[in-house]
Chains A and B, each alone.
Chain A
């Protein structure tokens, strides 16, 4: 097998790439090129979603209507959610998977290289459909990112565009997930058994299974909305024998695993970064794997905790409350393991470690507010208030996004061959964490005191905290431009990165030169016996 592989690769000159210029990117099947495109795409979507968020915050700066009208406001909140979830966070993690999984397991590329190209190139048309819907008559969908029926049945053609965009992005995600599963299961270097895999690969393997399980469910839900809208079906219309609440069950059967799709790879990145800068192996590797799997399995039996206010029977509320509380256990195990990894290590706080430590602190706040929301009677008060907005931004921004930044600073030397600027990286971190908390911490108070979410105007007692959140949001938004500068500087030059760019870094990705050559591991690496 080894000789065969070698012969096949030997048949090509070492640097014979295909087309150059734009066509290189359109036709590429190289996991590193595709990873780069995913990351650029997701950053562009992150900025678009960010502009929407800032428009929302500008409107909410003061009571009264000043900047936008209610209809457009609802379009902005809806599209901010859709763009950030499906355009920014999910593709960014797929980009990391593309770049890093083959390098971490010693594979030459992803298993299905052509499908990999296709799964990326589906995304730009989907993004054009989604963002383009702002410009059609009636504007973008304004039904909330959850697209609850029957409100979503009332929308204009922007809703249909969003449905097709979701279909396309779903296809892309499923193909990406299949690719990751097959790569991880079949293409590991000899000697790398499952329990020696870097944790990032483990978390992505589990995430990929979640994606394959739930993306078709979402596609089904939005297709039923489509047929209710245009073809006279009554899936969600009680007058025709349907049930609006059934949409919520189907949506959240997708939606809850979806939140773990957005956080498990983040756990993986953090589990790579913390041991490196603690110069100490990850504490409880096996329990991390089991905790991740438990979270994934439990995530299928908690969906209706998003629906406590729909009026389900007491038995239903109790079941979903207990199941949800149970998720705190494996999540707690993970946090304890990370802290134990740092305990008696030899710590240094380069930029990636700052982000990882920040993640740990702020993500845990989001975890605790999640536990509080899990208690059904408390959730009756908090459901659809700013408390929930605060909660999910603590887990999705301080969780997923901060982990993405930790990973980006960690692997930028491998991607570009230059060390990112420590000064700018640290500035980016400190601005982000301070402004993040100024933006989202007051929202806990707003929600407790009774401010509903998704409203363009509010009662006067909420004015002070809203003004504070808006100021924080603009600070946070502008801070992200620092990251753009760091990356551009890093691509153009800077301190040369060594193969092992960080002192404590371990793993196969640090055995190849920096920047990683176009083709790596054409010969499978040999792992030392454990």
Chain B
């Protein structure tokens, strides 16, 4: 009798296992189906191109992009020996150095003064965030005028102060600075908006408690605001750095990489190599270098960020 029930129980157990497995399989199929559109598009337009870029970087190609000769590391070797590419890398890093700290400092300053509860503050916030709504093309056109050698606003001001006119976009020592200024201005909107959001999410009680303790404005700024804002700052720094490495539009409209390649930032260099010179192999090698730099930056950011950032 007990044997019979035990046998039945065993049979049932097997049945359960089967239905369980079937249900899990169905869950799996369902999950994959929900993710399929994204996975397919990522594969076609992200993962495949990445692998293909690596592949291309070891070849010479014809104008249509078909591989012709396998050259191994030659593309990379040539790149590192090329003064133009060295210049491009140098410019890119200088550009990051010019734009990132200034963008953050200016935006943080704006966010702090726009976080006060004052009448009409909404108006100022709108103005400060406005550059986020201005496209690269439009912004570049605005600044193209400001930098204009004769009728440009900046040189008019220089004149007023009795200074010599500057060839903002034609002088190799000024061009990168001019492109950086445009970029900082463009970035302010987004960075400001995110930092303001970060400031607003800081618990008001912290400030009230500091007030009770008699802390001054700058003490609170240094001891509460900045530490509590560190996750947001961390995010903003990462995004700004990555964006800086990906700069293209400003260069294309303002300087086309000139003068004397002073503003030939890496993405512009890739663009020119691939779509003007049709050197897809060499362009791919540059793209791989860009990818590695960004990957490296992200990893460093995360490693450093993990330790230093104060998470709530």
Partners in one complex: no
